[in-house]
Amino acid sequence: MTEYFEVHARDAAARVGELRLAESVTTPTLADDVVEDAGSEWVQRRDRPAGDESALTVLPYRGFPSGTAEEVQASFAPDYPDVAFPSAAVVSPQTADDYGADAYVLSGAPGIVGHGAAFRDAVVDTREAIPDDTALYLSGVATPRNVAVLVYAGVDLVDADRAVVRGTQGRYLTTEGAYDLEDLDELPCSCPACQQPVAEFDRDDCVDHNVNALKAELGRVRRRIRDGRLRDYVEGQSRHEAWVTAAFREFDQQYGYLEERTPVMRDSLLLSATEDALRRVEIQRFAERVTTRYRKRLDDHPLLLVPCSAKKPYSESQSHRQFQDAANYRAHVVSMTSPIGVVPQELELTYPAQHYDSVVTGRWSEEEQDFVARVLRRYLDRTDYSRVIAHVPEEGYRDICERVAGDVDVPFEFTVEDHPTTDESLGELQAALAGEPQMWVEDREKATLRAVADYYVGDGAGDELFDDLTVQGRYPKLQALNGDGEQLAALVPQYGTLSFTLAGARKWVASDAPTKRVEIDGFVPEGSVLAPGVIDASDDIRVGDEVVVEGPKAFAVGRAAMPGPAMADATRGVAVDVRHTEET
């Protein structure tokens, strides 16, 4: 059982945690203050200063790589039975397992760091084998340039060993490079060690600077994790060293590992500034769910493909208002966008559809065109339209539409002459839709609530949960009521999610829709369910998912604060933020 480490914030595999020592330490951080000499596989114990009960300078290690001689293990056994300490186990990817330790030291880290695929395999294998609420420690490898990617991969603790060694060798480290001291004609840093003329700057100063630079980078990384924006940062920061770029891309091939750890909703910005953004979990997951879970319910209307807008949600942008004025709700609006693919109007609020910002130049890369074309094709395979009105600009969009039009049965019509918002183009759009029936507001609102249920809960969920739906409120503040006027759920405009009531949760559990369940002990949760109270949880629960909480004494509904597999494992931390609860 871990007692000294708790995860407080998650951003995919990266976490901000707390290592409880004499004073709490926020991770990811340098372990140097926590333990000395942990860099070697064989850890030397250091005694605490006599009489100082609070200063924790010992990290007894439990667990050894297989094959370690008994007498060696015995000599390292902790001998402080009266004092509780955090413990760490030294493991390799092959020996990694749950040894009941608070931290796990990956042996041989310097041989792994520097090779993208080897690094990925070692971290993924180890992280998957050890409990989620334990710290992973890579010793002797961190530099200001690589540490963001180490943390992105799932590392919680590093140390300054390499930065110190490089400093003593006269190597000056920055987040983008490494320089020989002799080559520097000025010090490109404003840390305290660098507040002196370059001529007087010696190797001791260089050590201090390197450690300062590493600490400063870890501070930035912690900030980005708390903001849910480490990925954007890493896409840029990984560019300064080839193996780091390779490692970061290797993790994009590890979809399952990252997907399990990536929240399904948040309100932070997703900046798409590189092509790597196409491969991030949030983008792939949205495309996957739109093309496998989402169901179109606004039948009898043609598809109107329009370009995305910079302003989100799209429907509030000036261009989309013009499109809707011309279309007059006679078509089902779907926005085409890089990097997301296609966004049906019902999902315009759903993360990350209203949360991304992309670099708009009007030019689309081949990869962007391929991606959007693939998603559009899959979308059309699953939906049924009589016609497609493509009201899209020439540049990029039209090429994609023409490419897809050749592969599908439904006919495409193009209504843009020069630019989508010119009077001429809007007139063409209006004319193309003449004679088509108008949508009812209520039908659009119902379709929205059901589509969001499909997206979050699973294929068919919208129809299962909301079979006798009535809608209250004005978009986007919609409430889903059953036929008896009882509220089941509400749309949360900020995230484009549903929040269920107890009645909604009961209906969910009784329905054939896939359920996300958290089974708890015999207590009545108030405010939150802590991980130790969780007996079991569905594997497919992600951070941000609505979950039903059931136990011998209570029935509750709330929002997951950790992934399902972690809930079942963890012994610390909030598992579910409970919204409503009742005793049973």
Q: Which is nearer to Zn ion, 221 or 376 (CB)?
A: 221
Q: Which is nearer to Zn ion, 79 or 186 (CB)?
A: 186
Computed on alpha carbons and rounded to an integer, the radius of gyration of the chain in Å comes to 27
Least distance from Zn ion to the Cβ atom of residue 242, Å: 25
Least distance from Zn ion to the Cβ atom of residue 174, Å: 8
Which amino acid type is present at position 209?
H
Q: Which is nearer to Zn ion, 145 or 301 (CB)?
A: 145
By the 8 A CB rule, do 320 and 482 touch? Answer: no
Burial of 191 (0-12, 13-18, 19+ CB in 10 A): middle
Q: Which is nearer to Zn ion, 194 or 400 (CB)?
A: 194
Of the candidate spans 184-192, 352-360, 420-428, 484-492, the one that interacts with Zn ion by CB under 5 A turns out to be 184-192
Got the DSSP string for 435-474? TPPPPPHHHHHHHHHHHHHHHHH-TTHHHHHTTT-EEES-
Candidate residues 118, 129, 178, 191; the one interacting with Zn ion per rule CB under 5 A? 191
**Where would I find the H helices in 227-336?**
230-237, 242-252, 255-261, 281-292, 318-327
The residues facing 358 across adjacent strands are: 272
Quick one: which of 120, 110, 111 has its CA closest to 152?
120
By the 8 A CB rule, do 134 and 2 touch? Answer: yes
By the 8 A CB rule, do 222 and 233 touch? Answer: no
Cα 356-361-367 angle, rounded to 5 deg: 75
Candidate residues 14, 189, 247, 574; the one interacting with Zn ion per rule CB under 5 A? 189
201 to 240: interface string for Zn ion, x by CB under 5 A:
--------x-------------------------------
Least distance from Zn ion to the Cβ atom of residue 195, Å: 8
Of the candidate spans 18-26, 88-96, 189-197, 453-461, the one that interacts with Zn ion by CB under 5 A turns out to be 189-197
Of the candidate spans 21-29, 45-53, 182-190, 252-260, the one that interacts with Zn ion by CB under 5 A turns out to be 182-190
Least distance from Zn ion to the Cβ atom of residue 40, Å: 28
Of the candidate spans 186-194, 224-232, 311-319, 571-579, the one that interacts with Zn ion by CB under 5 A turns out to be 186-194
Least distance from Zn ion to the Cβ atom of residue 178, Å: 13
- Which residues within the stretch 305-334 sit at the binding site for Zn ion (CB under 5 A)? none
The answer to whether residue 38 forms part of the interface with Zn ion (CB under 5 A) is no
Quick one: which of 200, 166, 197, 199 has its CA closest to 180?
166
Quick one: which of 106, 133, 134 has its CA closest to 120?
106
Quick one: which of 322, 293, 320 has its CA closest to 309?
320
Least distance from Zn ion to the Cβ atom of residue 152, Å: 24
Which residue matches tokens 């497609």?
A: 388
Q: Which is nearer to Zn ion, 162 or 289 (CB)?
A: 162
- Which residues within the stretch 401-460 sit at the binding site for Zn ion (CB under 5 A)? none
Q: Which is nearer to Zn ion, 191 or 408 (CB)?
A: 191
Of the candidate spans 188-196, 358-366, 395-403, 530-538, the one that interacts with Zn ion by CB under 5 A turns out to be 188-196
Least distance from Zn ion to the Cβ atom of residue 160, Å: 14
Q: Which is nearer to Zn ion, 179 or 475 (CB)?
A: 179
Burial of 508 (0-12, 13-18, 19+ CB in 10 A): buried
Q: Which is nearer to Zn ion, 209 or 279 (CB)?
A: 209
> Distance between CA atoms of 202 and 172, rounded to whole angstroms?
10
> Distance between CA atoms of 243 and 245, rounded to whole angstroms?
5
Q: Which is nearer to Zn ion, 237 or 309 (CB)?
A: 237
For residue 165, what are the CA distances in angstroms to 27, 112, 215?
A: 23, 18, 16
Q: Which is nearer to Zn ion, 194 or 574 (CB)?
A: 194
Per-residue DSSP letter, 354:
T
> Distance between CA atoms of 181 and 169, rounded to whole angstroms?
9
Q: Which is nearer to Zn ion, 148 or 189 (CB)?
A: 189
Q: Which is nearer to Zn ion, 30 or 305 (CB)?
A: 30
Least distance from Zn ion to the Cβ atom of residue 191, Å: 3
Of the candidate spans 97-105, 185-193, 268-276, 447-455, the one that interacts with Zn ion by CB under 5 A turns out to be 185-193
Of the candidate spans 13-21, 187-195, 233-241, 522-530, the one that interacts with Zn ion by CB under 5 A turns out to be 187-195
Which amino acid type is present at position 567?
M
Least distance from Zn ion to the Cβ atom of residue 208, Å: 8
Least distance from Zn ion to the Cβ atom of residue 177, Å: 13
Least distance from Zn ion to the Cβ atom of residue 31, Å: 22
Q: Which is nearer to Zn ion, 184 or 410 (CB)?
A: 184
The answer to whether residue 194 forms part of the interface with Zn ion (CB under 5 A) is yes
Which residue matches tokens 């918002």?
A: 421
Phi/psi zone of residue 33: left (φ > 0), alpha (ψ -120 to 50 degrees), beta? alpha
Centroid of chain to Cα 397 = 28
Q: Which is nearer to Zn ion, 202 or 299 (CB)?
A: 202
**Pairing mode of beta strands 356-358, 270-272:** parallel
By the 8 A CB rule, do 478 and 451 touch? Answer: no
Q: Give the count of residues interacting with Zn ion (CB under 5 A).
A: 4
Least distance from Zn ion to the Cβ atom of residue 189, Å: 3
Of the candidate spans 122-130, 194-202, 223-231, 328-336, the one that interacts with Zn ion by CB under 5 A turns out to be 194-202
User: How do the residues of the chain divide into helix, strand and coil, expressed in percent and rounded to 5?
Assistant: 35, 20, 45
By the 8 A CB rule, do 480 and 488 touch? Answer: yes
Least distance from Zn ion to the Cβ atom of residue 182, Å: 17
Cα 68-101-106 angle, rounded to 5 deg: 60
Of the candidate spans 136-144, 193-201, 295-303, 565-573, the one that interacts with Zn ion by CB under 5 A turns out to be 193-201
Question: Rule CB under 5 A: which residues touch Zn ion?
Answer: 189, 191, 194, 209
